Structure 1
């Protein structure tokens, strides 16, 4: 039988520089990635450097709430 709370949870990573520049609507959007993390090993928010399709460079992507 499966337990009620799984250790692996799905998280959404969002570009932090696109969020700050979202006032300008001509940029096109905000870069987002979907990944998984282990909630027991990483209880804090996840931050990774990923490639942003709108900034055209590697930027810091932080975990957001669903």
Structure 2
């Protein structure tokens, strides 16, 4: 049995390029790319950043962890 809090937490990764361009405000791109993944809280206490494919930018961009 695990003691205390679980080490694995679910995080949401959001495209940094889409949010900088103001996708919802300017309507330059049709939306914001988001991915849901899990991270180990003990191994990576800082914010997670991964390079993932953004369908709105049509290229691989950095996706950063956002608050829920």
| TM-score (ref. length: structure 1) | 0.91
**Residues 21 and 28, structure 2, Cα contact 8 Å, conserved in 1:** no
**Residues 48 and 65, structure 2, Cα contact 8 Å, conserved in 1:** yes
- Structure 2 residue 15 is the aligned partner of structure 1 residue 43: no
Partner of 1:58: 60
Q: Which runs of 5+ in 2 are unaligned?
A: none
Aligned length: 66
C-alpha root-mean-square deviation of aligned residues, in Å?
1.3
Where do 1:9-48 residues align within 5 Å? 9-22=9-22, 23-48=25-50
Q: Which runs of 5+ in 1 are unaligned?
A: none
